[in-house]
Amino acid sequence: MFDKLEEVVARYEELNQMLVSPEVLADSKKMIECNKAINEITEIVEKYKEYKKYVDDIEFIKESFKTEKDPDMKEMLNEELKEAEEKLPSLEEELKILLLPKDKNDDKNVIVEIRGGAGGDEAALFAADLFRMYSRYAERRKWKIEIIEKQDGELNGLKEVAFTIIGLGAYSRLKFESGVHRVQRVPETESSGRIHTSTITVAVLPEVDDIEQVQINPSDLIIDTYRSSGAGGQHVNTTDSAVRITHKPTGIVVTSQDGRSQIKNKEAAMKVLASKLYEMESEAQRKEIESQRRSQVGMGDRSEKIRTYNFPQGRITDHRIKLTLHRLESYLDGDLDEMIDALIAYNQAELLKTVGEQN
């Protein structure tokens, strides 16, 4: 680990020298790349400097202890030594986590798709609840939301909704939300008070920054336009602005109808298609690397039941990490960080085990 850390420090110093070189100063693209590379390793360098400071402090205290005669000073040095030695193990763990392989998509925006599953109108109602939950979470983190497509259901429910969350690190926080979300509650439509179980499917895709990065042959696409369904009144669209794109080789169908123009809807649909194709390729690569696959906590597997929202008991349970929270109301209001932090910590722990096995 320490060899790797020294390499990172050397790279950090090299990048800082490059940043002030005439060649980089004259090229804005190189300057951006250089700054980005520095930002990616700054936290590791600073944490390693902190670690080395404690190591130096320990060495200094031990040397001072050898020559110190005053009993009170020796007691104080002992306390300082104990404090410094207790700090080192936690710093080592932090450094190990910082050195773990980074997910190249972590800083990206995300495309989220929520669809009602089993449960009819009740599933559609809970799909609307989840859409509000993620929207409130985005608000808390000062992220922006753009709706791509929305199909309303009965009783203010949602049959499905697709939207983009724009914000640095959105994918790193939300990537473990993909899967089947189960709700247990008494539906509004149920007069006898019986608890029903319904399911909703959530998919989280990293947004592709540049769709040209994904090879899409125009001849593989069927592009249809149709009239957007609106809320009625002034919102009814009288032109064929909605767009449906079918990718023939994979059978993927994407639609966009929230934009007011056909051009904007086509751009949005193409971005969703590119993200879906990119995620398919990424998933194939993940499956090829079994050790990495073992470190995942259900990311991207849409058929896996990942979480249960139990209304009678006011609890949320994530089945992958066996974590239960007893604050359903605040959770559905977007207070997701405790669960998300636990998922990230679990994944990091599994990755550390994998690294240990490989070593």
Amino acid (1-letter code) at residue 109: N
Residues with Cβ within 8 Å of residue 322, at least 6 apart in sequence: none
CB atoms within 10 A of CB 94: 16
Instruction: Enumerate residue ranges in the chain where pLDDT < 50.
Output: 231-238, 289-296, 299-301, 359
What CA–CA distance (Å, rounded) separates 353 from 78? 35
Of 54, 154, 61, 173, the C-alpha closest to 108 is 173
C-alpha separations of 68 from 53, 54, 71, 317 in Å: 22, 20, 8, 57
pLDDT given at position 197: 87
Burial class (CB in 10 A: 0-12, 13-18, 19+), 234: exposed
C-alpha separations of 218 from 138, 221, 223, 244 in Å: 34, 5, 10, 14
Q: How far is CA 150 from the centre of its chain?
A: 22
Q: How far is CA 223 from the centre of its chain?
A: 31
Interval 12-42: pLDDT, tens: 898 888 888 888 888 888 888 888 888 888 8
What CA–CA distance (Å, rounded) separates 140 from 136? 6
CB atoms within 10 A of CB 17: 10
pTM above 0.95, yes or no: no
CB atoms within 10 A of CB 181: 24
Interval 207-247: pLDDT, tens: 876 666 677 888 888 888 877 665 433 444 445 678 888 88
Both tokens assigned to 127: 């799909």
Asked if residue 179 lies in contact with residue 200, where contact means CB atoms within 8 angstroms, the answer is: no
What CA–CA distance (Å, rounded) separates 319 from 199? 14
Place of tokens 């800082």: 16
Angle at 181 between CA 330 and CA 243, to 5 degrees: 105
3, containing H or E segment: helix 2-19
pLDDT given at position 228: 66
